[in-house]
Amino acid sequence: MARSAPADETGPSGDDTDADSGADSGADGGAPPCTPSPERCNGVDDDCDGRVDDADDDLVDGLPFYEDADGDGYGDRPVTACRLGEGRSLLDGDCDDGDASRYPGAVERCDAVDDDCDGHADDALGLSEDCPVESCAALLVLAPEAADGAYWLVLPSGTTAPVWCDLSGGGWTLGFLRNSAAVGNQGDAGQGELSLASLAVDPAGASASTTPALGWHDLNTFVYEELALAAYAGGVATYRSEPIPRAHLRIAFGEDGYRLYGGESPYLWCGGAAAYTDGGLGAVDNPPGAPASCRGHGSLGSGWDFSTSASANAGLTLCGSDGSAFLAASFGGGWVAYGNAGGAQAIWVR
């Protein structure tokens, strides 16, 4: 007959249980008590606060990162973590961690927002193709402290291009430029667009340059109220006409004939293709008493003659390469042959 176990060897239910088996458990028979130690990257709640590794702000051996809530690769708030994972970045400087389109190096858009996080909203106004202005006069209103230089404009054709702005002189936009280093004609200057890259340089500098410059944008569609003609020699300005109201122009750019012929304006300005300037053919609305050709020229070529006199070559003469192939780098003189550095003429509009 089997022996019954003594009362002190059985549990409450009568099973054969060692009463000392729970000696290493907690007071309530659960997990052993936690002994706090510094939180480390080991998958254990070392400091006994219920948070493990990255989830614990008290982590002592974490690596330095930045919180990147919008996932654009840049963060703004320093954090420590065991590893680089989602929502963290090695790079800081994000100015809006809730907008993934705004971060250091982002394209600055014309949206009144600091997209590239450099502390300035729309600081690229006129300085990039993505943020052009309509004219230098408009730029001067928006950025009165801006300096002279080439700024991106959106032209009436929809083309965007850098064009030189005379901002210190009152917001003038360069509309035409030819230097003496260039070889070519400008009988239809101001009609359509030609070599817009030529308009991205300072006319004074172009006059001393061996790099050819001959270009214009469409002065028939560009919005402006007045224009001025100018001449340059050896890197300096030598002449600039008084502002001429656009309303005083008799014919459109690209048409042959007298664009100005006295009357309201003190200037006489004729030009066009060589067939008109030298051959007297095709003048549009030729003024009564005016010669059939441009001031009686015989070798002007596809160019113009601008002055306050009825005589030829008394002001700014700009020949074509199909004519005498030189220009006046100052009012009434300073002749420079094409293919050589030394002179330039320009049309400014505002």
Handedness of CA 258, 262, 265, 267 (dihedral sign): positive
φ, ψ for residue 247 (rounded to 5)?
-65, -20
For range 127-146, the mean pLDDT: 92
pLDDT digits (tens, 9 = 90+) for 86-103: 999 999 999 999 999 999
| Two tokens, residue 142 | 């928006």
pLDDT digits (tens, 9 = 90+) for 274-324: 999 999 999 999 999 999 999 999 999 999 999 999 999 999 999 999 999
Q: Say if residue 16's pLDDT is above 70.
A: no
Entry pTM: 0.72
Q: What is the DSSP string of 236-248?
A: EEEEEPPPEEGGG
For range 123-140, the mean pLDDT: 89
Q: What is the band of 28 on the pLDDT scale with cuts at 50, 70, 90?
A: low
Going by C-beta distance under 8 Å and a sequence separation of 6 or more, which residues neighbour residue 144?
none
